[in-house]
Structure 1
C-alpha cells in the first residue's frame, strides 16, 4: 500500500517549551561606609566667618595661663624681696627703727618692738643703712644704694649703682661702710655717697644725681673720717705725695657741692620739686 504524503502545513505548530528562568541570586549587601567630611563652607558664608573669629579667641584663651605663669615667674628687679609684716598705726605714727641684720634690712615699731617690714636682695648683703625722715637708705655689698619707704615698707623707690665701689667694700679699709652714706641739707633731702674715688650727691626724693666731686690726683677720700660743722660736711682727703698742705687734705661739701669762695649754687633744694615736697621723676 502506498503511503500518502502528509501535509502538515495546516496543523498548528507547537511552541517549544522554554525552561523557566533560574531564580536570581541576591547580590551581597554593600558594607556601610563612614560619612565623609562635610563640604567646605563657601567663602564669606556665616560658617566661614564664625571659624575665623573663634580660632583666635580659642588660641588667646589657651595662651592666657602661660602668659600669667610667665609673669609670676619673672624675677624681681635687682633681686628685691620686700615683706611687710604690719602696717603702721596710721598717719602721724612714729617711723620705725631701721637696722641691718645678716642679709636683711629690718624695720621695727618703736613702741611695740615688733617687725614692720623686711627687705632683702637675692645673693646680696646690706653693708650699712641710714634712716632719714621718710627714707631708709641702704648700701649693699655689690655697690648698690637703695631707698625704701621707711614708714610702711610699701616700695623700694630707687636703686643707684656707685661706680668702682664693690671691690673696695670687700676690703678691711671699708670698715663696714662707715661714713659712706652721709645726709646733706635739713631733713636729709640730699644724700652724699662717699667712696675713696669720689663723692656723689643724690636727691633722696627720686634718686636724681645732683653733683659729683672726684678726689684730687694722688689723694683719696676717707669716708670714716668725716665730721659736721655749721651745716657743712668735712671729709678727710689724705694725699700720698709729700709737701701737700693740710688744707688740701680736707674737703667741705653741702647739698650744693664743694664749698669754695665765690661758688654758684645749683639750687638743688627745690629744683623740680612739687608742692607736696616730693621730687618729680621727669627731666
Structure 2
C-alpha cells in the first residue's frame, strides 16, 4: 500500500492566517495614526478652562498670531490655552467673536476654531483667487477681509477684490455671494460699519460710474437696496429658510 501524503493539522492551517493578521495589525494602526491631518491642521490644547478657574464663570481667551501659529491665551495670566498651526502656512488676520476664533491664512483659507477651549476646528473654507492677491502689497496683509455681519457673529463676511461671500458661523455654510461690478473691485481695507450695515468701497476703473455705485452696503441678508425682500440666511433663530439673492 503506497504511503499517504502527510497533511498538516487543520488547526495549524487556521492559525497561520490568524498570526499573520495579528502581526499586520500594528502596521495598519501605525499607518492610520501617521495619516496627515486635513489641511495640515495641528491643534494643541494647553490648559482646560475649568482647570484654571474651577467653579468660576469661563472667560473666553484672547487671540494673537505668534510666529506661524494662532494662540489663544488667558487674559489675566497670559498663559496659552490652545495653539493652532497649519503646516507651511501662517495666519494673516484674526477675528475674535463670542464662541468663535476666525482666522485668515496665507493660502487663502478661512477657518473657525472653537474659541473657549480649542476643542475643534469647526470648518475650513477656501476663498477663490485670494492666495495670489494676499501676497501683494495691495492686500495690506488681509486687512478688512474678515467682517462680522450680525450681532454675536452669526454670519461672517469674507471680502476680497472679486467678491463678498457670507458664511453662517455655526457650520460654515455659504449663504450668499456678491460679485464686484465689471470693471470694479472691492477694497476690504476701505470698509466701515454704520447702523448694522457694512459699507465696502468698490472703486471702478471708468469715470462714468457714479460714486454711489462705488460704495456697497451689505448685511447678513446680502446687499442692501431699496425695496428688497430677502429670503433669509438659514438662521434658525429668525425662523426663516433659504438664501438671499443679492443683485449687483
Q: Partner of 2:43 in structure 1?
A: 82
Q: Partner of 1:69 in structure 2?
A: 30
Q: Is 1:161 matched up with 2:104?
A: no
Q: Partner of 2:225 in structure 1?
A: 260
SS of the residue 2:49 aligns to: coil
CA distance in 2, matches of 1:185, 1:198: 19
User: Displaced runs of 4+ in structure 1, greater than 6 A?
Assistant: none
Cα distance, 1:228–1:269 mapped onto 2, change above 3 Å? farther
Q: Partner of 2:245 in structure 1?
A: none
CA distance in 2, matches of 1:231, 1:199: 17
SS of the residue 1:78 aligns to: helix
Q: How do 1:67-216 residues align onto structure 2 when only pairs under 5 Å count? A: 67-89=28-50, 92-216=57-181
Cα distance, 1:144–1:38 mapped onto 2, change above 3 Å? same
Where is the helix percentage greater, Structure 1 or Structure 2? 2
Give per-residue Cα distances to partners, 1:157-216, cap 9 Å, x unaligned.
110000000000000011011100000111001000000000000011011000000000
Aligned with residue 183 of structure 2, among 215, 218, 231: 218
CA distance in 2, matches of 1:205, 1:37: 74
The answer as to whether partners of 1:136 and 1:148 remain within 8 angstroms in 2 is yes
Give per-residue Cα distances to partners, 1:80-132, cap 9 Å, x unaligned.
11111111136731100011122110111112111111111110011101001
Question: Which ranges of structure 1 fall in alignment gaps of 5 or more residues?
Answer: 1-35, 42-46, 274-283
Question: Which ranges of structure 2 fall in alignment gaps of 5 or more residues?
Answer: 238-248
SS of the residue 2:31 aligns to: helix
The alignment yields a C-alpha RMSD, in angstroms, of 2.0
Q: Partner of 1:12 in structure 2?
A: none
Q: Partner of 2:246 in structure 1?
A: none
CA distance in 1, matches of 2:84, 2:4: 63
SS of the residue 2:22 aligns to: helix
Larger radius of gyration between Structure 1 and Structure 2: 1
CA displacement at 1:264 relative to structure 2: 2.4
Q: Is 1:54 matched up with 2:15?
A: yes
Cα distance, 1:131–1:37 mapped onto 2, change above 3 Å? farther
The answer as to whether partners of 1:133 and 1:188 remain within 8 angstroms in 2 is yes
Give per-residue Cα distances to partners, 1:34-92, cap 9 Å, x unaligned.
xx997216xxxxx42x3453233212201101001111211111111111111113673
The answer as to whether partners of 1:100 and 1:129 remain within 8 angstroms in 2 is yes
CA distance in 1, matches of 2:131, 2:67: 18
Q: How do 1:6-85 residues align onto structure 2 when only pairs under 5 Å count? A: 39-40=6-7, 47-48=9-10, 50-85=11-46
